[in-house]
Amino acid sequence: MSIPLLALIAFIFLLLSMSLKILREYERGVVFQLGRFWKVKGPGLIILIPGVQSIVRVDLRTIVMDVPSQDVISKDNVSVRVNAVIFFRVLDPEKAVIQVESYELAISQLAQTTLRSVLGQHELDEMLSEREKLNADIQKILDYQTDVWGIKVTNVEIKHVDIDESMIRAIAKQAEAERERRAKVIHAEGEYQASEKLYQAAQVLTKQEEALQLRYLQTLSDIASEKTSTIIFPVPIDMISRFFKLMKDISPDK
């Protein structure tokens, strides 16, 4: 086989390799013709005109991106380090290639600034206890700003909120003080409710002397059941009051 024929075969294979492209199911090809956008093609076999058409591959799968740790100063002037993870995917390959130079780098930078901006508007307690709300706020902002790039931000998750050791001790003391406060409030409420019930019971007993006598007899029965050598008989209050009234009636000063 002559050298010119081998060169011709090699040229044909090179031409075919430049002309034929195979795109997977999750890939799309943004085709440019003489530098101008032509169409989005794929998946499957794509035939290009060498030297006239070029292709940029775009992955349509959901991309998971870690947001580097950011120094954030909360609304109550507490310095923390926060990192997060973002889930997004390309919806419009044409916009993702034409509207932004590198959509992954752009989303990473936008996520960092948005994370600092949103968390800086909240206090530390909110960062720790309201992560779902903060995640939704950040996701909404990112999704709105990346819509022009043909990107859909599906989810944002704050992973860690790192706090200084001194601040951790202060938070622990605050939590302990809050638990003590709640315990005292619950105890006070219990005492108040018990006093209300005792007051109501006293009102009933004073209106019905028979009920007071029955209560007196029940008290004697409870004392008698105790295994003690000495038994003290309680004297009802009404008997003492009657005694003092009788003494007052027979007093010579009257």
What pLDDT is attached to residue 10? Answer: 73
Q: Name the band, by pLDDT with cuts 50, 70 and 90, for residue 236.
A: low
CATH number at residue 99: 3.30.479.30
Mean pLDDT over 63-86 rounds to 90
Instruction: Give the range of the structural domain holding residue 70, as residue numbers without chain letter.
Output: 63-163
pLDDT at 89 over 70: yes
Query: Is the C-alpha dihedral spanning 38, 39, 43, 46 positive or negative?
Result: negative
Structure-token pair, residue 119: 């968390």
Distance CA 153, CA 146 (A): 8
Predicted pLDDT at 240: 59
Report d(CA 198, CA 191) in Å as an integer: 10
pLDDT the model gives residue 210: 59
pLDDT of residue 106 exceeding 90, the answer is: yes
- Asked if 68 and 46 sit in the same domain, the reply is no
pLDDT band at 3 (very low <50, low <70, confident <90, very high): confident
Residues 212 and 241 in one domain: yes
228-232 mean pLDDT: 59
Q: Beta-carbon neighbour count of residue 57 at 10 Å?
A: 14
- Last residue in a domain, options 44, 59, 74: 59
φ/ψ of residue 88, rounded to 5: -150, 165
Residue 237: which pLDDT band, with cuts at 50, 70 and 90? Answer: low
User: Is pLDDT at 233 greater than 60 in this prediction?
Assistant: no
Is there a domain that residue 169 lies in?
no
How many domains is the chain partitioned into structurally?
Answer: 3
Identify which has the larger pLDDT, 141 or 1: 141
pLDDT, tens only, 141-186: 999 999 999 999 999 999 888 887 766 666 667 777 877 888 888 8
Q: What is the pLDDT of residue 17?
A: 74
Q: pLDDT digits over 21-32, tens only?
A: 889 999 999 999
Q: Assess whether pLDDT exceeds 60 at residue 38.
A: yes
- Same domain membership, residue 156 and residue 81: yes
- What pLDDT score does 232 carry? 60
Mean pLDDT of the 34-61 span = 91
Say yes or no: 32 and 106 in one domain. Answer: no
Q: Are residues 118 and 29 in the same domain?
A: no
Work out the percent of the chain whose per-residue pLDDT is above 70.
Answer: 74
Average pLDDT (39-45) is 90
Crossing angle of helices 103-119 and 131-146, in 10° steps, is 140
The three-state DSSP-derived secondary structure of the chain is CCHHHHHHHHHHHHHHHHHEEEECCCEEEEEEECCEEEEEECCEEEECCCCCEEEEEEECCCEEEEEEEEEEECCCCCEEEEEEEEEEEECCHHHHHHCCCCHHHHHHHHHHHHHHHHHCCCCHHHHHHCHHHHHHHHHHHHHHHHHHHCEEEEEEEEEEEECCHHHHHHHHHHHHHHHHHHHHHHHHHHHHHHHHHHHHHHHHHHHCHHHHHHHHHHHHHHHHCCCCCCCCCCCCHHHHHHHHHHHHHCCCCC
Looking at the structure, do residues 52 and 72 belong to the same domain, yes or no? no
30 and 90 share a domain? no
Task: Determine, yes or no, domain membership for 175.
Answer: no
| Residues 78 and 142 placed together within one structural domain of the fold | yes
**pLDDT above 80 (res 116):** yes
Measured in Å, how far apart are the chain's first and last C-alpha atoms? Answer: 153
Whether 67 and 159 map to the same domain: the answer is yes
- Same domain for 81 and 143: yes
Predicted pLDDT at 242: 59
Model pTM score:
0.64
73 & 144 share domain? yes
Contact 27, 43 (CB under 8 A): yes
Q: Are both 54 and 73 inside the same structural domain?
A: no
Cis amide bond preceding 252, omega within 30:
no
Is 225 a member of any domain? Answer: yes
Q: Is residue 171 part of a domain?
A: no
Residue 245 belongs to a domain:
yes
